Each structure stands twice: as structure tokens, then as C-alpha cells.
Amino acid sequence: MTKSKKNAIILGLFIFSSLFVSLFLTIIAFQDIPKYNSPYIFTATVSIIGIFLGYLVLKKVKPIILRFSLKKNDDGTMSALVLMIITGIIFFAFNELNISLSQKTKCDSFYITNKYREESGFRKPEINTLVVDLINKKETVVSKHEFWLSKEIGDRINLCFYESFFGFNYIEINE
């Protein structure tokens, strides 16, 4: 095996193993998404930041990829993988940073006014939702299935509200 082929294999293994680590970190971060008050805005914002930073990293590592690649003119696949890796890592890091910098503003007990469940299906996760009355507005809180089953309409649940430094506030069940 030639040295360039060996280097290409090592580069490929490094990128693909990094991709799996990035996907694992993204899955961990996505477990916190239902807590956020604006989960879609959070996801879109962090994804855009991740793609932008991934593009900056790609500009720095592209010469290395081209140097060790067996196909000199086809760097599109590796470029896409590098963008996905950086975006996943940024997603995890920003989520953890947001949670660690958030401050608890209040914890209180609220009445459940409604509850509903969306069954899982093809490309559709199971969602167990409790609707609570926050004096002047209704708020939805996603919970685990066991917790959802144990609560009835009219029961009280303890919720903690967190205010984030970045503006991505969230609510957490405190039971």
C-alpha cells in the first residue's frame, strides 16, 4: 500500500469517526430541545452558526483534505461531512453553554389544564404534552411518558423557569 493511499484511508477514518461522534453529541443535545420556549428558533440559529463556523473551518482544512485525498477534484463529499461535523459539535456545545449560563428565575406549582399525546410513527417521535395554566397564559410542557401517565387534569406539577444569557429561555419539570 502506498503512503498516499494509507494517508487517504486514515483521513477518511478520522472524518467518519468524527461524524459519528458529532451525531452522538447532536442526539444528546436534541434531548433538551423540547424544554425551550422557542425550539425552532434555537435550532435554526445554532444550525446557521454551525454551518458558518463549519465553512470557516473547512477553508482551513480543505488543503489538507485535498492533499491526502485520492480523488483530487472531488472534495464535495468530504466538505459536506466537515460541515456536518462542525455543525453537530457547535449544536452540542451551544446547548450545553446555554443551559450552564441560564439562571433559575422562579419555581412554582401549576395546575394541569389539559394533556395530550402524539403517538410515534414513521419519522414522527412520541410527544407527551401537559398544558399548564400560568395565571395569564397557557404553556405546554413536554414530559416523559411515565410522568405523563402519572398526571391527570387538575393535578399540580412543579415547574422551574430559566432565563438564558443568550435569550433562549426554557422550562423544566422539577419533580
Of the candidates 66, 76, 82, 90, the one whose C-alpha atom is nearest the C-alpha of residue 18 is 82
- The pLDDT tens digits for 114-161 are 998 888 778 777 788 899 988 888 888 888 889 998 999 999 999 999
pTM over 0.85: no
Confidence band for 93, pLDDT divided at 50, 70 and 90:
very high
Instruction: Tell me the three cell numbers of residue 64.
Output: 489538507
Give residue 1's pLDDT: 63
Of the candidates 78, 141, 85, the one whose C-alpha atom is nearest the C-alpha of residue 115 is 141
- The pLDDT tens digits for 5-14 are 787 788 778 8
Per-residue CA distances from 39 to 86, 121, 168 (Å): 20, 21, 8
| Residue that the C-alpha cell 470557516 belongs to | 56
- What residue segments make up the domains of the chain, in order of their start? 3-101, 103-173
| Residue that the C-alpha cell 446547548 belongs to | 95
- The pLDDT tens digits for 37-79 are 888 999 999 999 999 999 999 888 887 777 766 566 666 777 8
Measured CA to CA, the distance from residue 91 to residue 141 in angstroms comes to 22
- What is the identity of the amino acid at 128? N
- Confirm if 133 and 152 have CB atoms less than 8 A apart: no
Per-residue CA distances from 9 to 21, 90, 121, 139 (Å): 18, 26, 38, 51
Measured CA to CA, the distance from residue 54 to residue 41 in angstroms comes to 19
Of the candidates 92, 147, 82, the one whose C-alpha atom is nearest the C-alpha of residue 115 is 147
